[in-house]
Structure 1
Amino acid sequence: MHRFSSIFHGSGLATHFSETLIWRHPPKKGLATTTILLRFLLVLIVAAFISSLWVDTSRFSVDNSINNTVIIFQKRQKPPKEIIIPLNCSTQNQTQTCPTNYPTTFQTQYPDPSSKASCPDYFRWVHEDLRPWKVTGITRDMVERANKTAHFRLIIVNNKAYIERYKKSIQTRDVFTIWGILQLLRKYPGRLPDLELMFDCDDRPVIFSRYYRGQNTTAPPPLFRYCGDRWTMDIVFPDWSFWGWPEINIRPWDSILREMKEGNNVKSKWIEREPYAYWKGNPFVAETRKDLLTCNVSDKQDWNARLYVQDWILESQQGFKQSNPARQCTHRYKIYIEGWAWSVSEKYILACDSMTLLVKPHYYDFFLRNLQPVEHYWPIREDQKCKSIKFAVDWGNNHKQKAQEIGKAASNFIQEKVKMDDVYDYMFHLLNEYAKLLKFKAMVPEGAVEICSETMACMANGLEKKFMVESMVKGPSVTSPCTMPPPYEPKVLGAFYRRKVNAIRRVENWENTYWDSFNKQ
């Protein structure tokens, strides 16, 4: 036996070691032949597997270059090629018209698995909002009766949009609502059916269900607006601020959502925030907000609330620098309270990572109905706001991990399920389901005007134009809308409501116990 030093090179790695040399018989020829045959059979089996009907060979590749080992890996599909179609603004000496070269058909360039994904669960409320017309359908007379309070009529015929205006809305609500619908047409050209609808841009719903009960009553007029409640039948549609709110310098939703996500992850960790409940707004639009101000901190009492009155005149003079909702995630808890009706502030508050303290709401927008107490927000009593807020903050500061989880669940819901793609898909399915109920052929009435992105954005100025350009859909989508979920089964919907009620009662019981023990001290 001899000792030796040697350097072995294997797989690019040099190893230096000393070893006792032991002579061994060379492998038998038959054994080597068997090994080769086994390897050959393995290659044949894998090849047969790949070519079978169970495998889409266009998506896979085979590599046997490493140690004769066969490796199967999935090919990376080419990313879909986006088509960008810019605004085509005419010169100042010409009348602005709608372009005739925009695509009128929708075709995905690549099959994308995400395009077949099911829509978020709150899309089911589309079926509930349209249920009043499920049996009767929607006649032209029903639509005409909805114009009593409507600000405009929208007509879509052959993928072109027309507007018949009745009156001006508050600020630019009507302008940016129409702008949003035009962006939907750019995103999914040729996919929206012909239709007519009436839209009311005011706050409170007006189609009261009590007037349309019983077999001998007429069906309600279908009227679109931004919110609903348990006593009305208005059809809920995403609000104008998703495309920007120039009057108070709030940017389009996509931009704010990115800014808030960055702030939540980097700039403002929950544990480092002020351990109080924060609210800032206009208290003079509703008695319930005036009542909220009594919960503010004072020399006599601290209800764990830090409340601020928004001075809109001063803000406008300062360029609304203190009104950016993405910069108001500075407290562990944020209060949402309705104004004259539902409030646009809701989505910005829920996206903050703070635990939302939701004062008992009476109105809902298109996604709020799916949120659950103690999972996405903390319920606050309407008639005992101060006590309820103090308990909520004390509970959260004593259960920091759970409070963070509630805040995170809400912001995740907003970030992941209320993105602009989701907003457009909700609009898409709502308008499609609505159009299925129409019992008449949509027609462009005399006096209606064709409208498109060019006739709106090219003629706009200032922040109005800036936000239109910023929120404009650049071109047709390369993927299809999400798949619409089926309606709620009555038992499932009943269980959903019971779960919500039971969670609120549980919190109220905790709160009662807290104050009982506090009063005994």
Structure 2
Amino acid sequence: MRNSPAKNGSAGGNSGNFTDTIWSPPFVKSGFGISPNRSYALVSLIILLIVGAFISTRLLLDPTVLIEKQAATATTTTTKTQTDTISPKYPRPKTVITQNQPEFTLHCSANETTGACTRNKYPTMTSLREDDTITNHSTNATCPDYFRWIHEDLRPWASTGITREALERAKKTANFRLAIVGGKVYVEKFQDAFQTRDVFTIWGFLQLLRKYPGKIPDLELMFDCVDWPVVRAANFAGANAPSPPPLFRYCGNEETLDIVFPDWSFWGWAEVNIKPWESLLKELKEGNQRTNWVNREPYAYWKGNPFVAETRQDLMKCNVSEEHEWNARLYAQDWIRESKEGYKQSDLASQCHHRYKIYIEGSAWSVSEKYILACDSVTLLVKPHYYDFFTRGLLPAHHYWPVREHDKCRSIKFAVDWGNSHIQKAQDIGKAASDFIQQELKMDYVYDYMYHLLTEYSKLLQFKPEIPRNAIEICSETMACPRSGNDRKFMTESLVKHPAESGPCAMPPPYDPASFYEVVKRKQSTATRILRWEMKYWSKQNQTGS
């Protein structure tokens, strides 16, 4: 726990007004001479100076002492830096790291040709020496609030559990079945996913087992890599309705029961040159600091593929033109051209140059949301229909500004005009979002979310997980070693090289009905209040003819 600052400005924490003084010997005046007491004091002072000079000289000349002093200073500096960057709301647990901590590396020489996991790539915690990692579990902080939605996503099976029959029904649209048995990963592939979504999703599972070796329970699950959710809640309502099939994917909505899981891009999106999240998050933070918010372009910025959804094509009508100034600057992204030109115009860390950034869904939810929220720019969130695993923890007027779906242009113009008229409040919204992304969506928490979701899911299984008949064992070597280009680069970059220095964050309790209602009510009431402001704004504009 961080030490409390001293009270009343006193370095030692004492109260009252005290003046620091340097001790001096008692001088006794005797004309212009020096008394015996004063003579004794001067002799003592001279001895102290000689001893001090000797010690100082040894510190300067003795390399052993100097190195030890530098090491101590470096340790102190590192500790302070880590303390300053830890989220005050959700601090990571304190840990003691020893030099004996094992390192997991890729062993490609044996696997490049055989394509087999020739050794156990998933060591259990008992196989690690006791002093390899020393953890103070009592200091584990509670996970961010959005972890509470794990309970809600699994609630459809809370009373019945998950049967083998229900799991098999999820196979209908799944891209693959993944089983964890005895600390090893087995994958049965059903159909290809778009690009390498399935590849990097499976890679994420493997890295979780490297981070928490021996801690992930046996389980089987079905994963669908398509954007939109398909398990419709209405089909499983009523007392006699069958249990819904448990199907994992990247997003959900209010009408479906798909289980939401972190998307593939956290480990890299090879096809569009988007780096793994841990590396990209640092670059986004640096890019955010290049231009102060007030010095950024006072408009709303969006860049993406407008052809994947009608709502995005509708957004493009809000671009600046001779007839209208909607305070928006919108650009169509040509990924084919970008790939040929080396992605020079798609560097995410260089796109925090406007005061406002627009998030709008594509065919469903979009991975771009976390990149947009990472800027200090105010996120103008066009009313979404889908959510991913963390966005349910965001609040309107605190993390983002809501924009109407069916009147985008006027809604965007109002939002920008409001923000430019309320500079400090707008900056606060942008900063709250970027702080959320940097502190509560760091990669440690992504893995912790996966850990808790899979642990809670496994408790619901009413059957013993088995190795699927048509599955093959997957390890980091079999995935990374045969690959090249961005695939290999991003896998190497996102490889977990050490087991976790501490246990995962503590899972928060589920919502009770009252607290759940309060969260929903708060979001609705805030959005309604902003809509009233917008209506009043446009009513005034119409009256003045502007």
TM bucket, shorter chain? 0.7 to 0.9
Q: Partner amino acid for 2:106?
A: L
Q: Partner amino acid for 1:176?
A: F
**Residues 250 and 262 in structure 2, CA contact (< 8 A), matched pair in contact too:** yes
Is residue 428 of structure 2 the alignment partner of residue 405 of structure 1?
A: yes
CA drift of 1:192 comes to 0.7
String of CA shifts for 1:129-181, please: whole Å, max 9, x gaps: 00000000000000000000000000000000000000000000000000000
Distance in 1 (CA, whole Å) between partners of 2:385 and 2:415 is 20
Give the match's secondary structure for 2:514: helix
**Residues 90 and 96 in structure 1, CA contact (< 8 A), matched pair in contact too:** no
Q: Partner amino acid for 1:326?
A: A
Inter-CA distance 80–216: structure 2 relative to 1 (3 Å threshold): same
Distance in 1 (CA, whole Å) between partners of 2:25 and 2:135 is 53
Give the match's secondary structure for 1:220: coil
Inter-CA distance 282–77: structure 2 relative to 1 (3 Å threshold): closer
Inter-CA distance 252–115: structure 2 relative to 1 (3 Å threshold): farther
**Residues 124 and 487 in structure 1, CA contact (< 8 A), matched pair in contact too:** yes
Q: Partner amino acid for 1:436?
A: K
Equivalent residue for 1:513?
Answer: 536
Is residue 118 of structure 2 the alignment partner of residue 96 of structure 1?
A: no
Distance in 1 (CA, whole Å) between partners of 2:172 and 2:95 is 53
Q: Partner amino acid for 2:240?
A: N
Aligned length: 460
String of CA shifts for 1:379-411, please: whole Å, max 9, x gaps: 000011000000000000011111000000000
**Residues 97 and 501 in structure 2, CA contact (< 8 A), matched pair in contact too:** no
Distance in 2 (CA, whole Å) between partners of 1:114 and 1:519 is 61
Equivalent residue for 1:224?
Answer: 248
1:9-408 aligned at under 5 Å gives the runs 78-81=96-99, 82-91=101-110, 94-98=113-117, 99-100=119-120, 102-105=122-125, 109-112=133-136, 116-265=140-289, 267-408=290-431
Distance in 2 (CA, whole Å) between partners of 1:115 and 1:480 is 10
String of CA shifts for 1:196-219, please: whole Å, max 9, x gaps: 000000000000000000001101
**Residues 95 and 502 in structure 2, CA contact (< 8 A), matched pair in contact too:** no
CA drift of 1:20 comes to 5.1
Distance in 1 (CA, whole Å) between partners of 2:227 and 2:253 is 11
CA drift of 1:258 comes to 0.2
Give the match's secondary structure for 2:134: coil
Instruction: Point out the more displaced range, 256-265 or 341-350.
Output: 256-265
Distance in 1 (CA, whole Å) between partners of 2:230 and 2:111 is 42
Distance in 2 (CA, whole Å) between partners of 1:113 and 1:326 is 36
Distance in 1 (CA, whole Å) between partners of 2:422 and 2:251 is 34
Give the match's secondary structure for 1:442: coil
Q: Partner amino acid for 2:145?
A: D
Distance in 2 (CA, whole Å) between partners of 1:311 and 1:365 is 25
Q: Partner amino acid for 1:413?
A: F
CA drift of 1:12 comes to 12
Equivalent residue for 2:457?
Answer: 434
String of CA shifts for 1:31-65, please: whole Å, max 9, x gaps: xxxxxxxxxxxxxxxxxxxxxxxxxxxxxxxxxxx
CA drift of 1:111 comes to 2.7
**Residues 155 and 163 in structure 1, CA contact (< 8 A), matched pair in contact too:** yes
Distance in 2 (CA, whole Å) between partners of 1:83 and 1:358 is 44
Inter-CA distance 204–77: structure 2 relative to 1 (3 Å threshold): closer
**Residues 161 and 182 in structure 1, CA contact (< 8 A), matched pair in contact too:** yes
Is residue 509 of structure 2 the alignment partner of residue 486 of structure 1?
A: yes
Inter-CA distance 100–77: structure 2 relative to 1 (3 Å threshold): closer
String of CA shifts for 1:246-296, please: whole Å, max 9, x gaps: 10000000111001111223x121111100000000111111101001100
Equivalent residue for 2:491?
Answer: 468
Give the match's secondary structure for 2:414: helix
CA drift of 1:320 comes to 1.3
Distance in 1 (CA, whole Å) between partners of 2:344 and 2:173 is 35
Distance in 2 (CA, whole Å) between partners of 1:227 and 1:518 is 39
Question: Where does structure 2 lack aligned partners over 5 or more consecutive residues?
Answer: 1-19, 32-36, 38-93
**Residues 115 and 479 in structure 1, CA contact (< 8 A), matched pair in contact too:** no
Aligned-pair identity (%):
60
Q: Partner amino acid for 2:266?
A: F
Give the match's secondary structure for 1:363: coil
| TM-score (structure 1 length as normaliser) | 0.85
Inter-CA distance 152–216: structure 2 relative to 1 (3 Å threshold): same
Question: Where does structure 1 lack aligned partners over 5 or more consecutive residues?
Answer: 1-10, 27-75
Equivalent residue for 2:473?
Answer: 450
String of CA shifts for 1:205-241, please: whole Å, max 9, x gaps: 0000000000011010000000000000000000000
**Residues 122 and 184 in structure 2, CA contact (< 8 A), matched pair in contact too:** no
Inter-CA distance 115–89: structure 2 relative to 1 (3 Å threshold): farther
Distance in 2 (CA, whole Å) between partners of 1:290 and 1:451 is 41
Distance in 1 (CA, whole Å) between partners of 2:186 and 2:515 is 40
